[in-house]
Structure 1
């Protein structure tokens, strides 16, 4: 028998080359439950990843990059899951982010405002894009370190994923208490991200935390500036 995945000859239950099982189990209720348990498993699952990133983010991310990549959930999957949790939480409680407010029908009809409206409604996904700009500033501020752009971006996927969970927690509290807590949640999220980034680049130096905070703020500002600029250019092109 040949492997259906790599076509290598197979004489056991698994392919000796790629590890593909000879016979796949049928997808049923038990299979779905097992997959969910695998994702949520406290050891090498999302709960374990959250615990490690909350208690000691810098060291755990460094180990992921250079030593062991099986202990934590994959970074892209992690930030997608946490962003999805955030989007579900604000949608369930009908919470509208109030990072930007605009008044007047004429103002609300402009393209820059429409772009910010999309950001407000899809903040989890916009946060991923924002991470690219934060990565640029981090690379500039910490250029003496050996980490490349992609390694810094991976670290941000972990860190900003926890930020999404912090926002989700405060949106849950706001939905249950009817108190306006999202501003506090935003402050808590930025504080965690600055602390975690500072730990990643060296937790013994206070300057690293200040540079991390500045890079985070500048990344957000750059993202906002380019979003506004894109809207203005689109408006100008449509009028001319």
Structure 2
């Protein structure tokens, strides 16, 4: 039986490996280079079991793994929101440094004012990629929440599922980033972006087939498509509202 000891953080008496009062490890050592390296690995990058483990799970048994996380099996995983923010930060930095197009070659071709607004949105997304992804995240969760409402998962649980899916999609986008850079001035960029979008949708269906395994695969496919439609409509309404506000602002300032 382990001897009782006093926690060096809160002075509570505890007998386990971690303080039952504040959670700090009871076995603390003098700070050293080994401690610093372990701290960088574990707390900053968490590569020792977090990021790499989560990536592996998302590309081997994603739906089952995410459901286990939601049901409480969470120690080995990197936290989903932090996971998505970390990968979005890496992608955003790469996009800014290499001046790539986050819209993937998609152009707004309906009107001059609309094209200008879309270009400004694209520039803002490039400079604030993490914020852009975090704005999109609740819409993805909303789409899935409404499409799969019969499965009785709450909105926050769908938000966590959407965060893992976003992280998975960002891994794919990072893998295709060299092509995105090489095709920057080529009409093939739009083709590549379409291929990546289809890969993302296919992965989403795969995840949902495992996650909602009580539903038939065909039903999961159509409900996933419905969730995309709801997300797209909701984001389009937000985008249209923002564009209208921007155009009204330009009109008033010129008047």
Shorter chain as denominator, the TM-score bin is: 0.7 to 0.9
Contact 1:167 1:186 in 2 (8 A): no
Q: Higher mean Cα deviation, 133-142 or 161-170?
A: 133-142
How much does 1:146 deviate? 1.9
Change (3 A) 1:122 1:189: farther
Contact 2:107 2:115 in 1 (8 A): no
C-alpha root-mean-square deviation of aligned residues, in Å? 3.4
Partner of 1:194: 205
Change (3 A) 1:230 1:6: farther
TM-score (normalised: structure 1) = 0.80
Among 70, 80, 100, the residue aligned to 2:75:
70
CA distance in 2, matches of 1:62, 1:86: 26
How much does 1:97 deviate? 2.6
Partner of 1:207: 219
Q: Higher mean Cα deviation, 105-114 or 154-163?
A: 105-114
How much does 1:88 deviate? 3.0
Contact 2:108 2:118 in 1 (8 A): no
How much does 1:54 deviate? 1.0
CA distance in 2, matches of 1:98, 1:77: 23
1:104-143 pair list within 5 angstroms: 107=113, 111=117, 113-143=119-149
1:28-47 pair list within 5 angstroms: 29-38=33-42, 39-41=46-48, 44-47=49-52
Change (3 A) 1:130 1:197: farther
Matched, 1:17 2:21: yes
How much does 1:212 deviate? 1.0
Contact 1:85 1:165 in 2 (8 A): no
Q: Structure 1 stretches of 5 or more lacking a match?
A: none
CA distance in 2, matches of 1:87, 1:211: 30
CA distance in 1, matches of 2:161, 2:216: 19
TM-score (normalised: structure 2) = 0.76
Matched, 1:93 2:98: yes
Change (3 A) 1:90 1:120: closer
Matched, 1:149 2:132: no
Q: How many residues align?
A: 237
CA distance in 2, matches of 1:47, 1:171: 19
Q: Structure 2 stretches of 5 or more lacking a match?
A: none
Partner of 1:226: 238
Partner of 1:182: 193
Change (3 A) 1:195 1:21: closer
How much does 1:170 deviate? 0.7
Contact 1:8 1:15 in 2 (8 A): yes
